[in-house]
Structure 1
């Protein structure tokens, strides 16, 4: 008998002989990759064209007769799948649908990015009992929701519990729940199966409770009460009669935990906990908290941090936005927010003694959010605190702030903003005078265009805590969104005066100077940020960008190399590649682009950048066209997802121009410019399309507009493709005019 009878997305056992060969499509789904298989089926990472998102598609194996499931079996499965789809719980992977094609039944769910508990235990060893308890609380909450819906899971195991990249625990793989079974079938994973199932009895709530007990046993030991894989029913029954207790392996564990696990894996089902809720209560007592199970379940969930922030604009790859103001990793993009200093040592009445220290640690991670893992860890810590004490208003406010940061990382994920609102509202319900929560609410209101309300909340936070650097910074962000650049600068200076040790504030001030066109002042602030915290990769990156715009290419190269030594990422490799390209070192430039592609092969801009390097080198036109066509293929995929994205359209226009497809280039260029007429990066890309199409006058007007604002100036001056346009006398006239208009506009904004 197979040790793993269900689908495991993190392991790839050898393919059973009855598993069909990998396929390209199933129904409307495009199958991208087969990521796992087991005794009952296989799982694919698939593209759902209706939802326009990746899903996990689980296809059940054909019946032994090869005829597929009968209509009666399919209808029974459909009824149960519908019931399962109705189970909505934060710790359950939602089921979106079930269907039958080509004699195969399949159902699809969220495609979760993270690691199973089995994989985590394999890499880090056994869990501590407190962590096992916290995981158990999440899983039992999910299991309770399943049971309340009249369903069973029937295959709870470490391979079927996922920890997302954001730290959230999810119960998944309900494959057995939707499979029809005969009484004589042994359904489940042997090591987790209750004794009565080996005797041919029907699965019940009690058998799910037994599996939960085995899961907890496994998490803290790495072993099972009895190893049953490959045994017959008689052999398994005999082995279970002599199964080990948790005390046999971990006598150092607290008595409450030993008793809870021991009761869950009692041989007699009547002696086990009667419900998942009872088991959850017993687990909660193990860590000294009386937090109601369902109350904890209301805590907003961490959403997986995006793999990357918004792709960066470029004409011939990374150089496009790398040299533009919009490319900077600034507070406008990242949404930095920190809790007020006055609340640093606040202790909530009734909280465990260590909560204050945990809160301070989580808050410290937020103040260094330039590292994604810091933000992820902060979210996990805030959630752990709230599991111990859901009335801790400051932790609730911190969680809201963390969600808002994630939303600013990727504003396409509206659920992040909803989570930020939920956590912030809860913090204000617990403490209406919470200055940190008011600060976050002000930022939420600002992104929603409610700037008057945002100003009101930020000022209210300052009344409650006049020493809140966060409140001053939030007020500055609102002013910046209103076009009040000078006022924004004054507010962030106040934040710096209050918290001069926080490297994020000069980082933000540098951004405001950058938007005002003050490159030297921006560079000075980013240098100050690096002085305060040499590991602030945001500041180092932005310093590299401004040094590129100031034509300090050696300094820029050093800045990007420092970033890569601290935290390698595709963006920094592309930026460094751009420096090498501008310096004429095309071999090194290509190497950097290739490293970026290795980290993210789906990034069309990296492929476009590689094509640019080949063109500039002057002797690799075939390789350049191949890279451009790969970039076009990937960018077209992105356009299907976001057809009104001006950046994607402008990039595609440039890429089509690069391979000589003028008709497609101009069509996309005009649409991009119509969607975003004032973005200098869009103007630059569209200008390139017009130049290739022979429409020089239109190209000159748009290039002048972009270059006057400092967008891709180095690229423009060095690009061999734009040599003729640069020598056109009318271009200099247009550029002088654009600079004069910009100077007047900048002066108006500062005043």
Structure 2
């Protein structure tokens, strides 16, 4: 029996088998390429003309009789597909729809770009123990959500778990394997099937747990407990009775991990973990932490975000905060007898120490990309001279991580950051900068519990580490614990009062709580500490816009441009001129941004807005928006679930009068980021343009109450009627009252 389908574009080419490829189309979908074939059907890369996006379309094989699925079978599939579509989890590829055409049933999902764990293992060999645990935690949490929904996966295997570009782990391809005609035979992938399934018993939570155990076994060995691919039932049962243990192949692994896998693949279902949550707890204990209660896990997975413009800047700053105490760390280890870094520093000599200090200072001012690049070069040179220098290895990992945060499309930088950080910890398990970096990596990949564990470990080794406090604060912020987050970053400020990055971060926390004035004070403090901190100046300019200090905003953006001209700052300055009614200069700034980056769809969209507001350049506006749409659609094919991108596209389509495209995009953006006021505002514009005033009022009041786009709203010609609608003032007052209560809760 062949293994089931994969959406991985890097798998072997599919073979025709007994089922001919569908030629050009299936229903409304245009079929672009067949990318996989297996025991249950075929997977196509397809084009959805309704939403104008690529999807993965899985067409199930016809029933054995060749008559196609019966109405009863189709209804059963539809029920299960609907149930699967209701399961929402960041580590699950969602099912979007199911239909029947030409005697074939098919369902479609996101087309995920990345590599399956199976493909990764083939290309790079077995996974490291810790990496396998982290993957296992992602998958078991997703599986726990599936089971709580009353469903089973039934086909967990390395081919059905993908590492997306950027490192995110996704459980996919449920396969709808409970379908009636498939129950006539053994359902699942043989090497992963629990013994009871070979006996003809029904799939249960326990059989999914068994498959998880086999997956973990396979990740660290490249082998299965028993090879069952082409065996009969009797032969398979005999092979399972003599299956290998993980100890047989990897006795070097920690006892806790060996016990966890052994229990997951027990022959008797009653002896296995009783839930995916129990297995998740056992895996977390393998690396020295505990899994939070279920509500906390869900809250960590469903991070509440603030304004996307603020969070874009915050993300860049996040990557700058956890190596700033490198000099203090050197000093600390010079004073401690037996400290891991002491010998390395002594052996390195003054020349290398000076280079290391210089590279660390560059990272303190990582608001310049050139500083990060130079630090990478220096760290690499140091390690060429002395490849045992743990601090330099940690610094290299941090520099790579900063570069990744500045350009998340480069997933290889995240892998490089992980590798360098783990190598540093292999040299010195008490290396505080490396522990902090790993905490930050774990935080952005959704492992909040592990991030807290590493941040606390860093603080145990160095209670005065400002970076460790900042890292811990960032995780608390992602969990919605505003008070704890502010306490931690305030510790960073107290420990390192001359560092401009800490008040910068503190300002973001206050901004997230809706306190613009206090955020502005923090950013002003950051600028006073370092007048060349372009991130602080940029943030200050943004909040000046919201506080109606347009002249102050103009000066701040012009200062940023004098220090480091970039497309973002030109666009920001253009937005100030636009709000001031200076459309000629606003257009000029957007054009400069386009010159620097012709593929910047936001610059094209901003220019279209300027033309629209000017009132006498409708044709230019439409043409410019169409260019923005063209560029943004290219990006959407790469990042179909980027809520910011979807909101921008909704805005552009609404601006050219295409509400049929605008509203579905706006709805999806709101689903992906329901608490982002920036997205609420833009989606509100789409609804207003579509004539749905009630929804527009609800969304825009939510954003304006937090000060987001307030000035734009008061000046926008499209919102003239909405501003005078009595229902808007009512909703705005209600939103402000709720925000005041929420802010008080977060800060107290």
Q: Shorter-chain TM-score: which interval?
A: 0.5 to 0.7
TM-score (norm 2): 0.56
Indicate how the Cα distance of structure 1 residues 742 and 658 shifts in structure 2: closer, same or farther if over 3 A, else same: same
2:505 maps to 1:508: yes
Instruction: Give, in angstroms, the shift of residue 449 of structure 1.
Output: 2.8
Find the aligned partners of 1:516 and 1:697 in 2 and give their Cα distance.
Answer: 26
Find the aligned partners of 1:332 and 1:449 in 2 and give their Cα distance.
Answer: 18
8 A Cα contact 2:611 2:620, kept in partner: yes
Number of the residue aligned with 2:277: none
Note the residue ranges of structure 1 that are not aligned, 5 or more in a row.
Answer: 1-27, 30-48, 52-85, 89-320
Number of the residue aligned with 2:473: 476
Number of the residue aligned with 1:699: 696
Residues 265-319 of structure 1 deviation map (CA, whole Å, 9 limit, x = unaligned): xxxxxxxxxxxxxxxxxxxxxxxxxxxxxxxxxxxxxxxxxxxxxxxxxxxxxxx
Select which of 597, 618, 627 maps to 2:624: 627
Find the aligned partners of 2:563 and 2:475 in 1 and give their Cα distance.
Answer: 32
Q: Give the secondary structure class of the aligned counterpart of 2:667.
A: helix
8 A Cα contact 2:315 2:405, kept in partner: no
8 A Cα contact 1:635 1:652, kept in partner: yes
Number of the residue aligned with 1:443: 440
Select which of 318, 343, 347 maps to 2:329: 343
Indicate how the Cα distance of structure 1 residues 349 and 562 shifts in structure 2: closer, same or farther if over 3 A, else same: same
8 A Cα contact 1:322 1:712, kept in partner: no
Instruction: Give, in angstroms, the shift of residue 494 of structure 1.
Output: 1.4
Instruction: Give, in angstroms, the shift of residue 344 of structure 1.
Output: 3.7
TM-score (norm 1): 0.56
Q: Give the secondary structure class of the aligned counterpart of 1:673.
A: helix
Find the aligned partners of 1:366 and 1:606 in 2 and give their Cα distance.
Answer: 29
8 A Cα contact 1:323 1:713, kept in partner: no
8 A Cα contact 1:323 1:548, kept in partner: no
Number of the residue aligned with 2:366: 369
Indicate how the Cα distance of structure 1 residues 546 and 327 shifts in structure 2: closer, same or farther if over 3 A, else same: farther
8 A Cα contact 1:688 1:699, kept in partner: yes
Find the aligned partners of 1:329 and 1:621 in 2 and give their Cα distance.
Answer: 36
2:590 maps to 1:593: yes
Note the residue ranges of structure 2 that are not aligned, 5 or more in a row.
Answer: 1-31, 34-53, 57-121, 125-305, 335-343
8 A Cα contact 1:396 1:424, kept in partner: yes
8 A Cα contact 2:308 2:679, kept in partner: no
Number of the residue aligned with 1:490: 487
8 A Cα contact 1:323 1:710, kept in partner: no
8 A Cα contact 2:646 2:669, kept in partner: yes
Find the aligned partners of 2:312 and 2:455 in 1 and give their Cα distance.
Answer: 28
Instruction: Give, in angstroms, the shift of residue 420 of structure 1.
Output: 1.7
2:404 maps to 1:418: no
8 A Cα contact 2:308 2:678, kept in partner: no
Find the aligned partners of 1:625 and 1:604 in 2 and give their Cα distance.
Answer: 14
2:656 maps to 1:659: yes
Find the aligned partners of 1:322 and 1:434 in 2 and give their Cα distance.
Answer: 35
Find the aligned partners of 1:383 and 1:478 in 2 and give their Cα distance.
Answer: 30
Instruction: Give, in angstroms, the shift of residue 375 of structure 1.
Output: 0.6
Instruction: Give, in angstroms, the shift of residue 499 of structure 1.
Output: 1.4
Q: Give the secondary structure class of the aligned counterpart of 1:350.
A: helix
Select which of 375, 384, 387 maps to 2:384: 387
Instruction: Give, in angstroms, the shift of residue 662 of structure 1.
Output: 2.0
8 A Cα contact 1:322 1:575, kept in partner: no
Instruction: Give, in angstroms, the shift of residue 678 of structure 1.
Output: 2.2
Find the aligned partners of 1:333 and 1:524 in 2 and give their Cα distance.
Answer: 19
Residues 128-159 of structure 1 deviation map (CA, whole Å, 9 limit, x = unaligned): xxxxxxxxxxxxxxxxxxxxxxxxxxxxxxxx
- Count the aligned residue pairs: 440
User: Is 572-581 or 683-692 further displaced after alignment?
Assistant: 683-692
> Once superposed, what is the RMSD of the aligned Cα atoms?
2.5
8 A Cα contact 2:308 2:676, kept in partner: no
Select which of 727, 738, 742 maps to 1:741: 738
Indicate how the Cα distance of structure 1 residues 656 and 734 shifts in structure 2: closer, same or farther if over 3 A, else same: same
Indicate how the Cα distance of structure 1 residues 706 and 659 shifts in structure 2: closer, same or farther if over 3 A, else same: same
1:533-572 aligned at under 5 Å gives the runs 533-572=530-569
Select which of 311, 325, 329 maps to 1:326: 311
Residues 575-607 of structure 1 deviation map (CA, whole Å, 9 limit, x = unaligned): 000000001111110110010111111111111
Select which of 521, 538, 544 maps to 1:524: 521
Q: Give the secondary structure class of the aligned counterpart of 1:348.
A: helix
Number of the residue aligned with 2:607: 610
8 A Cα contact 1:329 1:542, kept in partner: no
Find the aligned partners of 2:378 and 2:55 in 1 and give their Cα distance.
Answer: 36
Q: Give the secondary structure class of the aligned counterpart of 1:619.
A: coil
1:244-393 aligned at under 5 Å gives the runs 325-326=310-311, 328-329=313-314, 334-340=319-325, 341-344=327-330, 348-393=345-390
